[in-house]
Amino acid sequence: MSLITLDQSEYKRLDSKAYATEKRRLQIELLKLQEDVIKNNRKLCIVFEGRDTAGKSSTIKFFSEYLRPNNFNYVQLGIPTKWESSHWFQRWEKVLPKDGEISFLDRSWYTRAITEPIMNYCTENQYRTFMKKVNDWEKKLIKNGTELTKFYFSLSKDQQERRMNARKNSQLKYWKLSKNDEKIITKWDAFTLYKNQMFDKTSTQESPWVSINSNNKMIGRLTSLRYLLIKTSYEGKKILAPAKYSKTMKNFSTIIEGVKFRDLSYDQFMILTKYSDEA
């Protein structure tokens, strides 16, 4: 197994101003990467997997905010048809990036490795077939020029419960909590078991999983984008040294349900950002 776990030590001390500064630095570099992808007809496929409320969608939004819209795709497939369920890899081949494109996959073919078997959305044979074939399929993608990065966003059980409750009680985000979400959170241990099996069998040297601690979504976004930029080559690349942040910085602020909270202490800020509109 070639699992990459990032400890995010560079960003343990972070306020909203420092976050904005680092975000801008990284997004400038990502735009350079996209320009190189367009110029050289490259194909970048970035997978975002993880538990519900781990911050996958908001991280994709963070990545793509200033990219050229005609040269990236946001992919979030719905419930598979009967044909798609029995032709799993062909389903996903249709949404892979073409030359000169970046594709961000908000969940991917790996739903068959975790969610589908847990929720009985696929058969045992379909699950085993997928686990047996996926590594060779990915090797073929990479051989044919697809540059694949697989992020897994992880969070603690109590943090997930807090985010679920925040969604449930939010007048703006209540719709994000589906009946399926409420079912899957009751299967925490099963999810962990299948996740670990996925890591063991599909985190390969050619295509490793990159595990991101997303208990703080802001830190998770910076860490994942920084990893992508460090590992990927592109014209005009500038290796960004980690910025130094301090808890002594003042004027912490965040926005929750449209209300801005100012002059927060660092500890107050770190607690409230879990529920902020920016999270």
pLDDT tens profile 72-102: 999 999 899 999 999 999 999 999 999 999 9
Across 51-60, 107-116, 261-270, the highest mean pLDDT is recorded for 107-116
pLDDT score recorded for residue 169? 75
pLDDT score recorded for residue 269? 62
pLDDT higher at 110 or 254: 110
Domain assignment present for residue 176? The answer is yes
Q: In terms of residue numbers, what domain contains 214?
A: 4-246
pLDDT score recorded for residue 258? 67
Whole-number percent of the chain with pLDDT over 90:
56
Instruction: Look at the chain and report how many structural domains it folds into.
Output: 1
Helix (H, G, I), strand (E, B), or coil: what is residue 101? strand
pLDDT score recorded for residue 56? 92
Domain assignment present for residue 29? The answer is yes
Q: Residue 48: name the closest of 30, 62, 65 by CA.
A: 62
Do 174 and 167 form a contact (C-beta atoms < 8 A)? yes
Please tell me the chain's helix, strand, coil percentages from 3-state DSSP, rounded to the nearest 5.
50, 15, 30
Amino acid in position 171: Q
Domain assignment present for residue 90? The answer is yes
pLDDT higher at 38 or 270: 38
Angle between helices 217-231 and 16-39 (to 10 degrees): 30
Do 249 and 18 form a contact (C-beta atoms < 8 A)? yes
* Strand intervals (E) in 90-226: 101-106, 146-154, 209-213
pLDDT score recorded for residue 260? 72
Domain assignment present for residue 193? The answer is yes
Q: Which two tokens stand for residue 273?
A: 């950002």
Q: How confident is the model at residue 128 (pLDDT cuts 50, 70, 90)?
A: very high
The pLDDT tens digits for 137-181 are: 999 999 999 999 999 998 888 887 787 777 777 777 777 766 666
Amino acid in position 119: M
pLDDT higher at 40 or 278: 40
pTM (two decimals): 0.82
d(CA 243, CA 223): 12
Amino acid in position 127: Y
Least confident interval from 8-22, 134-148, 202-216, 263-277: 263-277
Q: How many CB atoms lie within 10 A of CB 171?
A: 7
Helix (H, G, I), strand (E, B), or coil: what is residue 264? strand
pLDDT score recorded for residue 186? 76
Strands 43-50 and 146-154, bridge-based pairing = parallel
Domain assignment present for residue 269? The answer is no
pLDDT score recorded for residue 9? 57
Q: Residue 181: name the closest of 195, 160, 197, 204 by CA.
A: 160
- Radius of gyration over alpha carbons of the chain, in Å? 19
Q: How confident is the model at residue 249 (pLDDT cuts 50, 70, 90)?
A: very low
d(CA 100, CA 169): 42
Residue 142, Cβ density class (10 Å: 0-12 exposed, 13-18 middle, ≥19 buried): middle
d(CA 109, CA 87): 11
Domain assignment present for residue 161? The answer is yes
Domain assignment present for residue 133? The answer is yes
CATH number at residue 200: 3.40.50.300
Q: How many CB atoms lie within 10 A of CB 149?
A: 18
Residue 85, Cβ density class (10 Å: 0-12 exposed, 13-18 middle, ≥19 buried): middle
Q: How confident is the model at residue 247 (pLDDT cuts 50, 70, 90)?
A: very low
d(CA 63, CA 66): 8
Domain assignment present for residue 152? The answer is yes
Residue 138, Cβ density class (10 Å: 0-12 exposed, 13-18 middle, ≥19 buried): buried
pLDDT score recorded for residue 275? 63
Q: Residue length, the chain?
A: 279
pLDDT score recorded for residue 248? 44
